[in-house]
Amino acid sequence: MRLALAHLGRQESLPRLLEILHPLVHQAREEGALALLLPELVLGRQGEEDLPQALEALAGESRMRVVAGYLAQGPRNRLGVFPQGPFYDKVHPFLALGEEGDEGIEPGEGPVVWEFQGRRFGLALCYDLDFPELFRSYALMGAEVFLVGSAWPGEYQELLAVLARARAAENQAYLLLANRADTGSPSLAIAPDGRLLASRREEGLLVVDLDLGFLEEYRARYPILRHRRMEAYRLW
């Protein structure tokens, strides 16, 4: 399965975003990608009520799925699959003292799985990476790929790499992370065994092939989800 990530900076207007996205979507389709993952809050904290309709039209015209992060009503920090959904609202708003984050954002209710091409994808956003419980929930729901939109600060990019590789390895799933280019952190593709498959720092497209046969063989050889001992993990 071939998917694409767009390493983009925050755009100041919807027309400018669409001007950039049209050639990227065309390129992704030409290279055989089935879906294109965009970063978190592609228009920043500004709400744009026409954005979902524009992405719906773009996805329909290109005949491929577009997965994008944006500010939805609520307000909520949302990752949506276009056309037709589903839609994931960030479960863990970032509320660190002294740093710009998700102040005023309503948290989402829980995990959202997207079923596509006979596979299951877990949706997440940025700071969610700090919470292994969410990704383990996805793994137990049958997810084989995690799609993460992000705006991770460049000063913490080493932590980003550690968390992304850990969430992939501990759940034996592919993890694709599209990061906002203006933050200084890269976009990443991680294998189920924690290997870095690819990364991108310059604005543009990153196309990744997911070997689902390897994923199935790796999970069969090391069935860590079956080896869990829930009776030993009681919280005191």
Tokens describing residue 75: 């307000």
pLDDT of residue 236: 59
Reported pTM: 0.95
Domain of residue 27 covers 2-232
In the chain, the number of structural domains is 1
pLDDT of residue 97: 60
Task: Return the closest-CA partner of residue 119 out of 138, 91, 100, 97.
Answer: 138
Q: What is the CATH number of the domain that holds 9?
A: 3.60.110.10
Roughly how many angstroms between the first and final C-alpha of the chain, as a whole number?
43
Beta strand ranges found along 54-140 (DSSP E): 65-72, 76-82, 87-89, 113-116, 119-125
**Torsional sign, CA 107, 111, 114, 120:** positive
Quick: pLDDT tens for 140-188. Answer: 999 999 999 999 999 999 999 999 999 999 999 999 999 999 999 999 9
With cut-offs at 50, 70 and 90, classify the pLDDT of residue 136.
very high
Using alpha carbons only, what angle is made at residue 127 by residues 20 and 5, rounded to the nearest 5 degrees?
30
113-116 and 187-190 beta bridge pairing: unpaired
pLDDT of residue 3: 98
CB-CB contact of 4 with 35 (8 Å): yes
Count CB-CB contacts under 10 A for residue 83. 17
pLDDT of residue 35: 97
Quick: pLDDT tens for 38-78. Answer: 999 998 877 778 899 999 999 999 999 999 999 998 899 99
